[in-house]
Amino acid sequence: MTAANIHERRAVRLRLAFAAAGAVAVLFPIYWMIVTALSTPAELRGSRFSLWPAAANWENFIGPWSKFPYPTWILNSAVIAVSAVALTVVINLMAGYAFAKLRFPGRDVLFLLVLSTLMVPVQVVMVPQFHLVVDFGLLGSNWGVVLPRLAEAFGLFMARQFMMAVPDELLEAAQVDGSGQWRTFFKVVLPLCKPLIAVLVIFTFMWRWNEFAWPLIVLKDPESYTLQVGLLFLKNQYGQDYGALMAMSLVSMIPMLIVFALFQRHFVEGMARSGIK
């Protein structure tokens, strides 16, 4: 075995060691959430450190689930998140195509203005958004949560950067064959955007599923609350019962893991081709 091969093997082992250490650092908080969710209050208050509870305490899951309308809250969160994902992804894709491939006066200036909204804290626009929701009679409804945040500047930026890489010759060939802008978008551009769609779906679902402040402001009836707002009630009820809090927090993570598992195949490619380093 040559010195070069030995050096290469050592480099591979070093990279694997760093990757394993990074994986442990990332996954340990989730592991500790699981341990806390399965521990009894006595074990959590005890001074003895343990990497796993003596016996799984499933009451941390059953108790809060039976006392609060968690199925309803989960359904509300799912309706809001899925509706927001469907509408936001469509808007971002169409706007990204317009900014990337269409020529119209003020295009670049308008795109910079859209990007400038990323520097505005979301808390600044909550008051005017709330007034709009009230004026349109959407206060207390799911549409009051979904509609004000449909156009995401970050997603539009990613869509535009991704579609800039689509060859103009491909679009010109489609137009020569008699294809209009709509048909070109749906038949030529959109089939090439599977990685981009995966990234937009994952990010949008994550943001909307985890959103707390805006649903808390808009929704009034406890039966219409989302899961994240419902966790606030659990915190007030089980303030010192960390096992129950962690159990329900774990439940709230499951849909995000499912969505990521479904779309992760195209996630890395979409991030790379969208210009996000």
HSE on the CB side for 60, CA within 13 Å? 28
Closest CA to 40 of 25, 26, 50, 31: 50
pLDDT of the residue at 47: 60
39 burial (CB, 10 Å; 0-12 / 13-18 / 19+) is buried
Six-digit token pair at 20? Answer: 């394993």
Contacts of 184 (CB under 8 A, 6+ apart): 171, 174, 175
Is 165 in a helix, a strand, or coil? Answer: coil
User: Pick from 240, 236, 161, 246: which is nearest to 195 by CA?
Assistant: 161
Token pair in block for residue 33: 């959430």
Residue at 76 is within a domain: yes
Does the residue 28 lie in any domain?
no
Q: How big, in percent rounded to 5, are the helix, strand and coil portions of the chain?
A: 80, 0, 20
Q: What are the tens digits of pLDDT across the range 114-129?
A: 888 888 888 888 889 9
Residue 91 CA to residue 151 CA, distance in Å, equals: 7
Question: For the chain, what is the domain count?
Answer: 1
pLDDT attached to residue 102:
87
Read off the pTM: 0.82
Q: What type of residue sits at position 250? A: L
Residue range(s) defining the domain that contains residue 189: 64-273
The residue whose two tokens read 């010759």 is 169
Instruction: Tell me, yes or no, whether 53 lies in a domain.
Output: no
Contact call for residues 227 and 71 (beta carbons, < 8 A) = no
pLDDT score, position 81: 93
pLDDT at residue 49, rounded to an integer = 60
How far is the C-alpha of 44 from the C-alpha of 50, rounded, in Å?
10
In a domain, 231, yes or no: yes
Residue-by-residue DSSP string for 17-60? HHHHHHHHHHHHHHHHHHHHHTS-HHHHHSS---SS-SS--THH
For residue 11, the tally of other CB atoms under 10 A from its CB is 10
Tallying the residues shown for the chain, one arrives at 277
Q: Is residue 32 part of a domain?
A: no
Q: Write the CB contacts of 187 (distance below 8 Å, at least 6 apart in sequence).
A: 174, 179
The whole-number pLDDT of residue 34 equals 87
Considering the domain boundaries, does residue 130 fall inside one?
Answer: yes
Residue whose C-alpha is closest to residue 77's, from 225, 262, 178: 225
172 within some domain:
yes
Q: How far apart are CA 34 and CA 71, in angstroms?
A: 21
Is there a contact between 159 and 201 (Cβ–Cβ < 8 Å)?
no
**Is 129 a domain residue?**
yes
For the chain, list residues with pLDDT below 70. Answer: 1-7, 46-49, 237-240, 266-277
Q: Give the model confidence (pLDDT) of 178-212 as tens digits.
A: 878 888 888 888 888 888 888 899 889 999 998 98
Residue 265's CB is within 10 A of a number of other CB atoms, namely 11
- Rounded to an integer, what distance in angstroms lies between the CA atom of residue 166 and that of residue 188? 10
We report the CATH number of the domain holding residue 200 as 1.10.3720.10
